[in-house]
Amino acid sequence: PGPPISKICCIGAGYVGGPTMSVIALKCPEVQVTIVDVSKERISQWNSDKLPIYEPGLEEIVKKCRGKNLFFSTDAKKAIQEAEIIFISVNTPTKTSGNGKGRAADLKHVEGCARLIAGIATSCKIVVEKSTVPVKAAESIMQVLKANNKQGVRYSILSNPEFLAEGTAIENLINPDRVLIGGEETPEGQKAIETLCWIYNKWIPKEKILTTNTWSSELSKLAANAMLAQRISSINSLSAVCEATGADVSEVGRAIGLDSRIGSKFLQASVGFGGSCFQKDLLNLVYICEKLNLPEVAQYWQKVIDMNEYQKTRFSQKIIECLFNTVSEKRLTIFGFAFKKNTGDTRETPAITVCKNLLDEGAKLNIYDPKVEKSQIIADLTSTRVTDNPEEVKKSIEIFTDPYDAVVGTHAIVICTEWDEFIEMDYDRIYKLMIKPAYLFDGRKIVNHEELQNVGFHVITIGKKLNRPGLMRSVGSISQQ
């Protein structure tokens, strides 16, 4: 028999849909993959030389498959009608108004997709929810689809959450820790699971493909992100203890990570976690627990978010304190704006909070990031979440494309993203271009602190008190070398 499916459609050409479908197209040359999006601009970017998102390895795959078995289109109708499997990977932002405002995930796009499919489909479809959605979202999709059912059309809904991390998306997709597929425990549901397994099994061994019931799968996605975020908040909470006592959080992290029950990954103390997923999924989990009348559980996970806010603010406060308790009219350099290295994504980036806190204190900022577009930084820092005076902010920030230009005449460098290039820079040259005393605040613990101190910098980092007479934090008095 031929392949169980010949055509796939994916609704949503974003960070999740784009890379995931590109890899499926690469690994399943006999399957035609079409990604559709409401945004004409997005689709034309995917069809151009400059893709809308940056991911190492993505461009090569898109160039290889595009026009052969990978297509980007705005014609959702045709793609949905033809496909046997439809992935929904539209965005599910936190609600900004109404019930669950600021916490619950907004499912309007997901619901929109379900209605779209119901209106178009004339044959049986497997609908796969790929977006991060709250537990029982599959049920809602099913309700919409069933209520609009046509003769002879049947739907199977699967939950197939994405675990890819930005910056390593292609690597994660090609060689995942596991693939999770949740479906109904009926013969039809099991058959749908098998069909989706067939796709992944093209390049992923069976042992790594985990099948569960729908709700377990949906909850696992939230749980995985909540536990990862919790690890960062845990190590960040300890970083405060380290700074107050003289322990070094890197040493503590290494020591506890060697316990195989704990494990060594994801214990890097930082200025705080960012990204589109962690906070959103935590908020979502908190909201669900409250709805389920589990207030103690809700409070427990809320604390993970609170600790992250505390860490971002604590770091900003430290910068201000070290600069003699005032940054008013002082120009500071921000190195890195993306929420982590190797991505141009700024969603929930800790850099926004740090910049906001410094701007609130009257600082002027020179901002440099190797991948984030100037317009994005301006949009982020002038949004209503950050300021009610966007014009004032625009006057206070300047965006640079050369890091050495960005440091000229500034009092301090603040590292907010762990880009590799910040490790290798010519700090002798940078030091000479800055106002003295020159400060460097390492929010990612990536640069060589001792070397920088030898250059002349006052270095302040996270989770470690850098003891050096004359170079230590000095509040209220200027300590020259």
Q: How far is the CB of 16 from ligand ADP (least distance, A)?
A: 3
Q: Select from 32, 34, 69, 89 the one that contacts ligand ADP (CB under 6 A).
A: 89
Piece in contact with ligand UDX (CB under 6 A), picked from 83-91, 140-148, 275-283, 432-440: 275-283
38 binding ligand ADP? (CB under 6 A) = yes
Nearest-CB residue to ligand UDX?
Answer: 275
Question: What secondary structure, in 3-state letters, does the chain show?
Answer: CCCCCCEEEEECCCCCHHHHHHHHHHHCCCCEEEEECCCHHHHHHHCCCCCCCCCCCHHHHHHHHECCCEEEECCHHHHHHHCCEEEECCCCCECCCCCCCCCCECCHHHHHHHHHHHHHCCCCEEEEECCCCCCCHHHHHHHHHHHCCCCCCCEEEEECCCCCCCCCHHHHHHCCCCEEEEECCCHHHHHHHHHHHHHHCCCCCHHHEEEEEHHHHHHHHHHHHHHHHHHHHHHHHHHHHHHHHCCCHHHHHHHHHCCCCCCCCCCCCCCCCCCCCHHHHHHHHHHHHHHCCCHHHHHHHHHHHHHHHHHHHHHHHHHHHHCCCCCCCCEEEEECCCCCCCCCCCCCCHHHHHHHHHHHCCCEEEEECCCCCHHHHHHHHCCCCCCCCHHHHHHHEEEECCHHHHCCCCCEEEECCCCHHHCCCCHHHHHHHCCCCCEEEECCCCCCHHHHHHHCCEEEECCCCCCCCCCCCCCCCCCCC
Bridge partners (DSSP) of residue 183 are 213
Q: Given 10, 242, 277, 322, which residue is catalytic?
A: 277
Q: Select from 91, 230, 342, 357 the one that contacts ligand ADP (CB under 6 A).
A: 91
160 binding ligand ADP? (CB under 6 A) = no
Closest CB to ligand UDX among residues 34, 225: 225
Enumerate the known binding-site residues for NAD(+): 12-17, 37, 42, 90-94, 131-132, 166, 277-280, 347
Residue 39, binding choice from ligand UDX, ligand ADP, none, Cβ under 5 to 8 Å by partner class? ligand ADP
Closest CB to ligand ADP among residues 277, 415: 277
Closest CB to ligand ADP among residues 339, 368: 339
Looking from the CA of 249 toward its CB, the CA atoms found within 13 Å total 27
Residue 191 neighbours by CB distance under 10 Å: 13
Which are the contacts of 260, defined by CB distance < 8 A and separation ≥ 6?
Answer: none
Closest CB to ligand ADP among residues 39, 216: 39
Piece in contact with ligand ADP (CB under 6 A), picked from 11-19, 142-150, 191-199, 201-209: 11-19
Closest CB to ligand ADP among residues 161, 189: 161
407 binding ligand UDX? (CB under 6 A) = no
- Alpha-carbon span 350 to 311, nearest angstrom: 9
Size of the site for ligand UDX (CB under 6 A): 19
43 binding ligand ADP? (CB under 6 A) = no
Q: Select from 266, 310, 400, 431 the one that contacts ligand UDX (CB under 6 A).
A: 266
Residue span 241-280 as binding mask against ligand ADP, x where in contact by CB under 6 A, dash where not: -----------------------------------x----
Q: How far is the CB of 229 from ligand UDX (least distance, A)?
A: 7
Catalytic site includes residue 277: yes
Q: Select from 275, 344, 403, 443 the one that contacts ligand UDX (CB under 6 A).
A: 275
- Alpha-carbon span 474 to 450, nearest angstrom: 18
Give residues 130-189 in contact with ligand UDX (rule: CB under 6 A). Answer: 162-166
- Alpha-carbon span 460 to 444, nearest angstrom: 11
Residue span 15-34 as binding mask against ligand ADP, x where in contact by CB under 6 A, dash where not: xxx-----------------
Tell me if 37 sits within 8 A of 12, measured CB to CB.
yes
Residue span 350-379 as binding mask against ligand UDX, x where in contact by CB under 6 A, dash where not: ------------------------------
Burial (CB count within 10 angstroms: exposed 0-12, middle 13-18, buried 19+), residue 79: buried
Enumerate the known binding-site residues: 12-17, 37, 42, 90-94, 131-132, 166, 277-280, 347
Closest CB to ligand ADP among residues 39, 201: 39
Q: How far is the CB of 164 from ligand UDX (least distance, A)?
A: 5
Give residues 105-124 in contact with ligand UDX (rule: CB under 6 A). Answer: none
Q: How far is the CB of 138 from ligand UDX (least distance, A)?
A: 18
Q: Which residues are near ligand UDX by CB under 6 A?
A: 162-166, 225, 228, 232, 266-268, 270, 273-275, 277-278, 339-340
Catalytically active residues, by annotation: 277
Q: Which residues are near ligand ADP by CB under 6 A?
A: 11-17, 36-39, 42, 89-91, 109, 112-113, 131, 276
